[in-house]
Structure 1
Amino acid sequence: MKNRDFIITSLQPWDIEIGSTIKNTALEISKNNRVLYINTPMDYSTRLRGNKNKAWTRRMDVIKKQASPIRQINEHMWIADCPFCVLPVGGLPTTCLFDWINRINNRKIADYIRQITTQLNFNNYIHLIDTDIYRSQYLKEYLTPSLSIYYCRDFVIGESYWKKNGVRLEPLLAAKSDIVLANSTHFAERFRQYNRHTFSIETGVNLALYDGRKKWLIPEDIKPIPHPIIGYVGTVNSTRLDSDLLLQIAEERPVYSFVFTGPEDEVFSQHPIHRLPNVYFLGKKPVETLPAYINSYDVCINPQMVNDITNGNYPLKIDEYLAMGKPIVATSTHTMRDIFAAHTYLPANKDEYLQALDKALKEINDPIKKEERICFAETHSWGHSVQKIYNIIEQFQKKTL
């Protein structure tokens, strides 16, 4: 697909400081099409809380007219920051009041999008909604795009903020969209009851960054840590990672070093696992340095809890681990079994984890297995992922002509 216009509305601001499926998807689309990425506006309560991260600071600069609301990222892609705040809806007491205020917010966002599309001369555009259940709920009605796509890549309605109204509104958004995309067969099964034009797609990995055939320098803070190193890269989140399981494993394998590279949430930072001498928390690192950390690990892990949030989620880090050629031990979830079973160990409890780690360590010097993992990761490039989206769009349009 070439020379089309795409508008993307997403929960994730462009300036988020971690790897992002939707950002990589947008950049891939922009290689052959024009893309306008709308940074979702902050609400007044978020403004008052003052998160002060990079995304918050950027949006505040735009609101205060200290920065232009439009940035051109490459020849075919623009980022638009909303120069206003919207009304907070999360704590509203009734459904009627929520829907009324949410419509006001949607109309304000739609008016701004129309202003920018006129300025950039976007026409006949495809609107891709990235899990933006509230602030994109009525945009199909207000913007009338040529095609409306809802893309679910996480079980956000399992989070407390979304449970009250997201459970009600996500099916409505899926039903009114022309196409629904899901990044796992598990999610796709759920959405087909609302929209028969539902398709599962696999996300991708930045193969230019995560290059397992390249020689990488060992990060300075890794050098003092004894091998074997069992490593994790990503947000250390207590709602997704099984901290108690990790504690038990680390206690039973004291000669293994367990290394976590990424920011911790408050609950995890207080966990007793911090008292173990063979566990290391290295904190948040720039994205471009993460391959060097993965390369320094002997075995990579993704010790998730199994719940509604994690079971169907597509863990992008698994593709990153594979692209670096590393043995992997990850909790057995629907998506892991469905996509990654041939190239990972998938334990379901502590004893299976211990056995899997022991087996995986025996593969660290196996060049054949390393190359197999890298080759499999290459089938999950962003180019392949976006081509699947193009194919789905083209097939849908042929059927509806």
Structure 2
Amino acid sequence: MENRDFIITSLQPWDIEIGSTIKNTALEISKKNRVLYLNTPMDYSTRFRGNKNKAWIRRMDVIKKLVSPIRQLNENMWIADCPFCILPVGKLPTSFLFDWVNKLNNRKIANHIRQIATQLGFNNYIHLIDTDIFRSQYLKEYLKPSLSIYYCRDFVIGESYWKKNGTRLEPLLAAKSDIVLANSTHFAERFRKYNRHTYPIETGVNLSLYDGRKSWPVPEDMKPVPHPVIGYVGTVNSTRLDSDLLLRIAKKRPTYSFVFTGPEDEVFSKHPIHQLSNVYFLGKKPVETLPAYISSYDVCINPQMVNDITNGNYPLKIDEYLAMGKPTVATSTHTMQDIFAAHTYLPANEDEYLQALDNALEEINNPMRKEERICFAETHSWGHSVRKIYTIIDKYYKK
């Protein structure tokens, strides 16, 4: 697919300081098509609460008219910020009031999109909604795109903010969309009852960054850590990672160093696991440095809890681990069994985890197994993922 116009509205602002499936997808689409990525506006409560991260600062600069609301990222891609805030809806008491205010917000966003699209000469565009259940709920009606796609990458309605109204509105958004994309077969099964044009697609990995055949320097804060190193990269989140399981495993393998590279949430930061001498929390790191950390690990882990949020989620970090050639141990979930079973260890309980870690360490000097993992990860490039999306769109148009 070439020379088409895409407009993307996402739950994630462009300026988040972590890796992102939708950002990589947008960049891949922009190689042959024009892309307008909308930084959907923050509401007034977020503005005044202000955690003052990079995304918040950028949005405030646009609202204050200190910078232009439009940035051109490359020849075919623009980022558009909203020079306004919208009304908060999360705590509204009734569905009627929620929908009424949410429609006002959607109309305001749609007017801004139309203005930018006209300015850039976007025509007959495809609208890709990335898990933005509330702020994109009525954009199909207001924008009338040539094609509307809802892309579910996560079970957000399992989170407390989304449960009340997201559980009600996500099926409606999926049903009215022309196509639904899901990043796992588990999610796809859920959406097919709302929309028969539902397709699972696997996400990708940035192979130019995560290069397991390259020699990487050992980060300074990893040099004092004794081997063997069992490592995790990503947000250390108490709603997704099994902290109690990790505590028990780390106690039973005192000669293993357990390293976590990424920001912690408040609950995890106060967990007793911090008291263990063989556990290291290195904090948040720039994305471009993460391959060096993974390279310095002996075995990589993704010790998730199994719940509605994690069971169907596609863990991008697994592709990153495998692209770096690392033996990987991850909790057995629907998606892990469906896609990664042949290339990872998938324990389901504490005893299996301990055995899997021991077995994985025996592979660290096996070049053939390393190359197998890298070759598998290469089948999950962003180009491969986006070509699947193009094929699905073409198939829909032909029907």
Scaled by the length of structure 1, the TM-score of the pair is: 0.99
Instruction: Provide the residue aligned with 1:82 in structure 2.
Output: 82
Q: Alpha-carbon deviations, 1:224-265, whole Å to 9, x = none?
A: 000000000000000000000000000000000000000000
How far apart are residue 80 of structure 1 and its match?
Answer: 0.2
Q: Alpha-carbon deviations, 1:379-401, whole Å to 9, x = none?
A: 000000000000000000000xx
Matches for 1:166-315 after TM superposition, within 5 Å: 166-315=166-315
Q: Which amino acid aligns with 2:170?
A: E
Q: Which runs of 4+ in 1 moved over 6 A?
A: none
Q: Alpha-carbon deviations, 1:77-103, whole Å to 9, x = none?
A: 000000000000000000000000000
> Helix, strand or coil: the match of 2:199?
strand
Instruction: Provide the residue aligned with 2:72 in structure 1.
Output: 72
Partner Cα separation in structure 1 for residue 163 and residue 225 of structure 2:
42
> Helix, strand or coil: the match of 2:18?
coil
Partner Cα separation in structure 2 for residue 119 and residue 184 of structure 1:
37
Partner Cα separation in structure 1 for residue 51 and residue 177 of structure 2:
33
Pair 1:137-2:140 in alignment:
no
Partner Cα separation in structure 2 for residue 378 and residue 110 of structure 1:
38
How far apart are residue 285 of structure 1 and its match?
Answer: 0.2
Partner Cα separation in structure 1 for residue 8 and residue 51 of structure 2:
24
How far apart are residue 51 of structure 1 and its match?
Answer: 1.0
Q: Which amino acid aligns with 2:296?
A: S
Partner Cα separation in structure 1 for residue 12 and residue 81 of structure 2:
12
Partner Cα separation in structure 1 for residue 393 and residue 74 of structure 2:
24
Partner Cα separation in structure 2 for residue 370 and residue 83 of structure 1:
49
Partner Cα separation in structure 1 for residue 95 and residue 290 of structure 2:
43
Partner Cα separation in structure 1 for residue 98 and residue 67 of structure 2:
32
Instruction: Provide the residue aligned with 1:360 in structure 2.
Output: 360
Pair 1:153-2:153 in alignment:
yes
Q: Which amino acid aligns with 1:100?
A: W
Instruction: Provide the residue aligned with 1:59 in structure 2.
Output: 59
Runs of 5+ unmatched residues, structure 1: none
RMSD: 0.2
Pair 1:17-2:17 in alignment:
yes
Partner Cα separation in structure 2 for residue 326 and residue 99 of structure 1:
47
> Helix, strand or coil: the match of 2:342?
helix
How far apart are residue 2 of structure 1 and its match?
Answer: 0.2
Pair 1:121-2:121 in alignment:
yes
Partner Cα separation in structure 1 for residue 208 and residue 394 of structure 2:
28
Q: Which amino acid aligns with 1:158?
A: G
Instruction: Provide the residue aligned with 2:330 in structure 1.
Output: 330
How far apart are residue 57 of structure 1 and its match?
Answer: 0.3
> Helix, strand or coil: the match of 1:390?
helix
> Helix, strand or coil: the match of 2:310?
helix
Partner Cα separation in structure 1 for residue 23 and residue 199 of structure 2:
20
Q: Alpha-carbon deviations, 1:182-201, whole Å to 9, x = none?
A: 00000000000000000000
Q: Which amino acid aligns with 1:211?
A: D
Q: Which amino acid aligns with 2:255?
A: V
Q: Alpha-carbon deviations, 1:160-212, whole Å to 9, x = none?
A: 00000000000000000000000000000000000000000000000000000
Matches for 1:15-54 after TM superposition, within 5 Å: 15-54=15-54
Aligned length, in residue pairs: 399
Scaled by the length of structure 2, the TM-score of the pair is: 1.00
> Helix, strand or coil: the match of 2:221?
coil
> Helix, strand or coil: the match of 1:308?
coil
> Helix, strand or coil: the match of 1:180?
strand
> Helix, strand or coil: the match of 2:129?
strand
Matches for 1:332-351 after TM superposition, within 5 Å: 332-351=332-351
How far apart are residue 50 of structure 1 and its match?
Answer: 1.1
Instruction: Provide the residue aligned with 2:109 in structure 1.
Output: 109
> Helix, strand or coil: the match of 1:310?
coil
Partner Cα separation in structure 1 for residue 94 and residue 338 of structure 2:
40
Partner Cα separation in structure 2 for residue 136 and residue 92 of structure 1:
18
Q: Which amino acid aligns with 1:265?
A: D
Q: Alpha-carbon deviations, 1:360-389, whole Å to 9, x = none?
A: 000000000000000000000000000000
Partner Cα separation in structure 1 for residue 53 and residue 211 of structure 2:
29
> Helix, strand or coil: the match of 2:341?
helix
Partner Cα separation in structure 1 for residue 383 and residue 137 of structure 2:
29
Partner Cα separation in structure 2 for residue 157 and residue 123 of structure 1:
33
Runs of 5+ unmatched residues, structure 2: none
Instruction: Provide the residue aligned with 1:96 in structure 2.
Output: 96
Instruction: Provide the residue aligned with 1:371 in structure 2.
Output: 371
Partner Cα separation in structure 2 for residue 176 and residue 353 of structure 1:
43
Partner Cα separation in structure 1 for residue 193 and residue 89 of structure 2:
27
Partner Cα separation in structure 1 for residue 322 and residue 328 of structure 2:
8
Q: Which amino acid aligns with 2:88?
A: P
Partner Cα separation in structure 2 for residue 330 and residue 40 of structure 1:
34
Q: Which amino acid aligns with 1:228?
A: P
How far apart are residue 283 of structure 1 and its match?
Answer: 0.2
Partner Cα separation in structure 1 for residue 221 and residue 108 of structure 2:
48
